[in-house]
Structure formats: C-alpha cells, structure tokens
Structure 1
Amino acid sequence: MQRHKRRIATAVSAVTSSLLLSLSLSATPAHAATHDPVVFVHGLSSSSSSWDDWAGYFEADGYTSAELDAWSYSWSQSNATTAQQLATEIRNVLARTGATKVDIVTHSMGVLSSRYYLKNLGGTAYVDDFVSVAGTNHGTSTAGWCAWLYTSCAEMNTGSSFLTSLNSGDETPGSVSYASYWSNCDEALNPDSTALLSGATNVGVGCISHTDTNNDHGVYEQVRDFIS
C-alpha cells in the first residue's frame, strides 16, 4: 500500500512539474519588443507617405509595422500647434505598444515641431533618439516665398521669433541622443549649415537633393544604425 501511494505521489509530482513548466513557457512572449517605436514627422507640403520607402526599409531590417508610426498633420499651421498634436500622437504610440520611449525621425520643417515638443512640452522624458534629416533647424531664406501664406513657413523663415526662441539656450536638451544629417547641395536649405545642431552628431551625407534625403537608402542605413 505504501509503495502504491509513493507511485501515485511521484506521478502527481511529475504532472505538476510539467504543468508548471508549460505555464512558465507560455507566459513568455513569443516576440518580445526589441525596438523603440519610430515616430516619423514630415515637413512642409508633405504627408506621412513621404516615409513609405524608409518604413519599408525598417520592416525589412526587423521592425514590425506596429513599431513604425508615420502620421500626417496640417503643415500650414503653427509648428507649436503641431508639437501639441505630436505629444498626443506619441502618448498614443506608447500606450498602444507598451514602450516607455520612442525615437523621432524628422525631415525638413518637421524638426521644428519636434524640437518644440522636446524643449517646451516635456518630450525629453519620452524620447530616446532624435534624428533631423535635412532639417531647417536655424531657418532657411527659401521660406520667404511662402512666409506670407502659411504660419508654419513664416516660423521657418530665417530670423523668425519662433526660431530665435527655439534655438535659445540648449539646442539639444535632456538625455536624448541627437543626430542631424545634412547635404552640401540641398536646394531647400540656405545656407546648408542651417541643418547643424549644437550638441548633436552632425553628419554630412554628400550631395543629395532635399526631397531625396529621406528616401535615400544610404542615409537610411546611417539613421537606422544611430537609433539602434
């Protein structure tokens, strides 16, 4: 009788151990998140579709579609208004993915709203890496053609009060890692050096047109390596 009881106890113990092991394995996510979500911010007269090439490259390199957020906004409005909308977008991305921080990748005028978010709206707490691609960080004289039409463009014009405020003090606040990629023959940036950020990793990418900088695969590879 005692031997029979011991056999039963041994069998129960084995089944219990097997169940516990199975539960432990099933509790482990099959695909744990490995990347900060990337939030793409387009520029003047553009939309989320301007990031289609890079989104495809990121997916080919292991990012999931859930980790890539290209969104559109009304580019004619004040960059300060766009920054507030960006703050909401990032909160939504964090809630949806369960991540604690995002990486921001911007093009052209998109740097202005994104940097406003970082500097004035507490964004440094939610951003790991910030990337400026052909960014109008210190304004461009070419914005003169549309400054009288759009608030955003007037703010992007060299010497605007918006830019003076944005660039006062620390241009790269917080513990965020900053990088700026710029072309030496960018027809939309005058001067080309407007793209440079004090305190950032500033990288010249050679002679690439303004509209191609956020489509170019070579620039993409450098951005991917920086944020990873």
Structure 2
Amino acid sequence: MKRPVPAAAVAAAGVLLAIQASGHAQASGGSAFGPTSNPILFVHGYNGDPGNWNTMADRFTTDGWPSSHLDRWSYDSRQSNATTAQQLAAEVDRLLGATGATKVDIVSHSMGGLSSRYYLKNLGGTAKVDAWVSLGGPNHGTDSANSCYDTSCTEMRIGSGFLAALNSGDESPGSPRYATWWSPCDTVINPDSSVSVSGAANTRTACLGHMALLTDATVYAQTRDMINR
C-alpha cells in the first residue's frame, strides 16, 4: 500500500516546477539581440537574389534583430567576384553609417563567400567585419562551375587564378571570426572539402541540399550563436 505524499512536499514540488517552467519560457522567448550584436549583411550566391534569405532573416527578426540590421543585399552575380567585392565594400560602409555600428557580420551563401572573402583579404574588410560565415561556399572551387561561362563562374572553377590568389597565404586573415558549414549531400559544391577554410570553424551539417542550408533550423541556430558572441 502506497503512503500518501505529504501536502508540503506536493506544494514544494509544484513551486519548483513553476520556477523551472518560468525560466524555460523566459529563455525561449527572450531576445538574442543585444548591445554587442552587429548588423548582418547577407550575400547571396550565383544567380541568387535577396529572397533567398527570407527564412533566415525572419528567424533573426523573431530573435530580436531589427529590420535595419538585416541587409539582404543584391548584386550582378555574373561579374567578377573582385568587382562584387568593391561594391560590397561600399554596402558595408552604407550599413555602418545607417545603423551607427562599428562592425558588421557577413553571412554568405555559395559564391557569396568568394566576394566577401576578397573584401576581407584585399579591401580592408577585416577592420569592419566581426564575423564571416560561408554556407556551402566554393572556397576552393567546384566542378559544377565547369558548365557555366560567366566571369564569376569561371572564377569558381577548381584551380582558377582567382581562387589561387584568394587562398594564398592566410585563408582567414585579420581579427574577424570565420566559420563555414558544409553538407555531405550538397551536389552543387564538389568536392565537399572545398567549403572548409583554414583557420575557420568548419562544421558538417546533416544531409542537406545546397539551398536547404539557408532554411535549416539547426544551421540557423548555429550561425546565430556563432556571430552573436
């Protein structure tokens, strides 16, 4: 026969559960955006557009980032990545001026990682960028670029002069924090090892397609936590 549980113990347990539930609700519902959070410049890939970032930007909004700090930038993805890097430099300055921030975080997808890395390495970007993220970037080339012929596309080919120069010396120069995410099921970036950058935090994802890197909840959370330090 079970003994009755004392009323005091039941009450104490109820209070403990209430405190735990309250703490959980506060943690899950609180804003991740804080005084040290930077505006984010999103850089899409080849033939991409600002809409590629809608899911991720909406999640940042839910986590407290104001719309003024979420810049879904666009550019002509057929031009040289060096030309795009010059335009990106101007956009960084515009974003800093508009928000009053001293640094930005760059989150790039696919080919967007190349122009943003060029900016960091060659155009003084290391002084204005706190964190750089590459989601499925062809940082060391991809064989899928062999079938397209725009200037930017030929620069993505394995062994291109553009990539040789970009990857010469330090692949992650300066003080910014570098991170990449790559998927073993990404059929656009071949080989998979192309994404990883020396000196960066390189993370393997679940089995995700190339575009799914932009919408996966786990990749988002990891990206948010990486840049928001």
Deviation string 1:147-170 (CA, Å, 9 cap, x unpaired) is x2x000000011100000000000
2:113 paired residue number: 111
2:3 paired residue number: none
Q: 1:134 aligns with which of 133, 136, 140?
A: 136
CA distance in 2 between partners of 1:215 and 1:151 (Å): 28
1:187 paired residue number: 187
1:9 paired residue number: none
Question: 2:90 corresponds to which letter in structure 1?
Answer: T
Question: 1:217 corresponds to which letter in structure 2?
Answer: A
Which is worse superposed, 33-42 or 96-105? 33-42
Percent identity of paired positions between Structure 1 and Structure 2? 56
CA distance in 1 between partners of 2:34 and 2:62 (Å): 18
1:57 paired residue number: 59
Per the TM alignment, residue 48 of structure 1 is displaced from its structure 2 partner at its CA by 0.9
CA distance in 2 between partners of 1:218 and 1:168 (Å): 32
1:168 paired residue number: 168
1:96 paired residue number: 98
1:221 paired residue number: 221
Question: 1:219 corresponds to which letter in structure 2?
Answer: V
Report 1:82-93 matches (<5 A).
82-93=84-95
CA distance in 1 between partners of 2:214 and 2:156 (Å): 19
RMSD: 1.2
Question: 1:107 corresponds to which letter in structure 2?
Answer: H
Deviation string 1:65-84 (CA, Å, 9 cap, x unpaired) is 01110111000000000000
Q: Which has the larger radius of gyration?
A: 1
Quick check: 1:35–1:67 contact (8 Å CA) kept in 2? no
CA distance in 2 between partners of 1:206 and 1:52 (Å): 21
CA distance in 2 between partners of 1:178 and 1:32 (Å): 21
1:196 paired residue number: 196
1:153 paired residue number: 153
CA distance in 2 between partners of 1:125 and 1:72 (Å): 22
Question: 1:108 corresponds to which letter in structure 2?
Answer: S
Q: Which runs of 5+ in 2 are unaligned?
A: 1-32
Per the TM alignment, residue 33 of structure 1 is displaced from its structure 2 partner at its CA by 4.9
2:217 equivalent to 1:209 = no
**What TM-score results when the alignment is normalised by the length of structure 2?**
0.84
Deviation string 1:11-54 (CA, Å, 9 cap, x unpaired) is xxxxxxxxxxxxxxxxxxxx985520000000001111100000
The SS at the match of 2:214 is: coil
Task: Give the total of aligned pairs.
Answer: 196
The SS at the match of 1:128 is: strand
The SS at the match of 1:213 is: helix
**What TM-score results when the alignment is normalised by the length of structure 1?**
0.84
CA distance in 1 between partners of 2:105 and 2:57 (Å): 13
1:26 paired residue number: none
CA distance in 1 between partners of 2:123 and 2:106 (Å): 15
1:46 paired residue number: 48
Per the TM alignment, residue 218 of structure 1 is displaced from its structure 2 partner at its CA by 1.2
The SS at the match of 1:115 is: helix
Quick check: 1:41–1:105 contact (8 Å CA) kept in 2? yes
Q: Which runs of 5+ in 1 are unaligned?
A: 1-30
2:24 paired residue number: none
